[in-house]
Amino acid sequence: MADASLFLTDLALGLLLGCVFAVIAHGLNLIWGVAKVVNVAHGEFIMLGAYGAYFLNLSFGFNPLVSVPIDAAIGLAVGVGFYFGFLHRELRGKESMGLQSEMVTLVATFGLALFMINAVQTIWTGNNVGIPWSPGVFAVGFLQLPLGGLYVAIVSVTIIGLTHVFLTRTYLGNAIRAYSQDIPATRLVGINPTFTAAVGTALGFGITMAGGALLTVWLPTGIYPAMGNLYAPISFVIVVLGGPGKMWGSLVGGLTLGVIIDVGQLFVGSLSLAYAIAFLVLIPVLLLRPEGILR
């Protein structure tokens, strides 16, 4: 019985954690789907979101959930800057991203990642910090689960749901989806490609930084400059699992990965091996179902 309850606890924790993973991957997924660019500095923007929540807590006493919309707003602004700084030159007037442009953005964002880690380390020191916020526990049957985790999971699913509504029910959302499918055709029907791509990228960054704020609830002392080195690969794996460009894919991939990490930890007996397994899941998925596990 003890084992079964341990297993169920880890499963539930994994699902709750998976919801947050889904949000941070969702931001990457949007940028990947819209601009056809992989932002290698993705983890560093998660880190920036987490630090945003930390400083809002330190200065104003906001809890991470209150910081989410503020972080998202900052993220939108950062996203616009990123689009015009990094992507516009490569995307402007082209029908699709060539291999050469792809390499340029990969290398440039890799440089950006290193810059951000070390700039943050210099400004805010490399110490681990965290937000002291824990609203208690709630019980489902015999399982004791953190209430903060539940709140965060609800907010996460709401964010993904709202993005879905935005992308399928509004004009701008449809324009973004059209852009991601066929750029010349988008231009033919009178959609401004630059504006659409900028909005899509900004939205992706907003969600990423909101995800960083949500993640802090799970990290009592885990905010540090290089945290992106862990969460960026997690996001990559989730997006590939769910299928790049598929919005519900992030949720499915996130839940899968959360469960793999938490339940895997129970079976292999160490967190590092669980992470290694979660990362290496990417390889068979890419080999066997490169379009993602969703149909």
Partner 1 sequence: MKLPAFRSPGPTLWGLGVFLIILAVSAPWIPVFLLTLFIGLLISATLAYSLNLITGLTGYVSFGHVVFMAFGGYALAFGVGTLKLPPVAGVGLAALVGLALALGIGAVTLRFRGVFFAIATLVVAVAALYIVLEITELGDGQGITLNVGFEPLSMFYTIWGILAIEIGLTFWITRGRIGYGIRSIKSDEDAANTLGINAARLKLFAYALSGLFAGAAGGVYAWNVSGAFPYDAFNLVFSLRMLAMIVIGGMGTLLGPLLGAIAVYIPSQIFLTVLIGFEYIIIGLVVVVIALFVPEGIVGTLRKYIPELRGILE
State how far the Cα of 68 lies from the Cα of 49, in Å rounded to an integer: 9
CB 260 within 8 A of CB 274: yes
Q: Does 229 bind partner 1 (CB under 8 A)?
A: yes
Q: CB under 8 A: which stretch of 54-62, 97-105, 182-190, 256-264 binds partner 1?
A: 97-105
Sequential DSSP letters for 191-203:
--HHHHHHHHHHH
Q: Does 100 bind partner 1 (CB under 8 A)?
A: yes
State how far the Cα of 158 lies from the Cα of 247, in Å rounded to an integer: 13
Which CB sits closer to partner 1, 115 or 138? 115
Residue 99 identity: L
Q: Does 99 bind partner 1 (CB under 8 A)?
A: yes
Q: Does 47 bind partner 1 (CB under 8 A)?
A: no
In the complex, least distance from residue 112 CB atom to partner 1, rounded to whole angstroms: 5
Q: Does 111 bind partner 1 (CB under 8 A)?
A: yes
Q: Does 270 bind partner 1 (CB under 8 A)?
A: yes
Number of helices (H), then strands (E), in the chain: 13, 2
- Closest alpha carbon to 79 in 205, 164, 254: 205
Task: Give first-to-last CA distance, the chain, whole Å.
Answer: 37
Q: Does 272 bind partner 1 (CB under 8 A)?
A: yes
Q: Does 220 bind partner 1 (CB under 8 A)?
A: no
In the complex, least distance from residue 199 CB atom to partner 1, rounded to whole angstroms: 22
State how far the Cα of 92 lies from the Cα of 87, in Å rounded to an integer: 8
Which positions touch partner 1 (CB under 8 A)? 38, 40, 86, 89, 99-100, 102-104, 106-108, 110-119, 121-122, 229-230, 233, 236-237, 240, 270, 272-273, 275-276, 279-280, 282-283, 286-287, 290
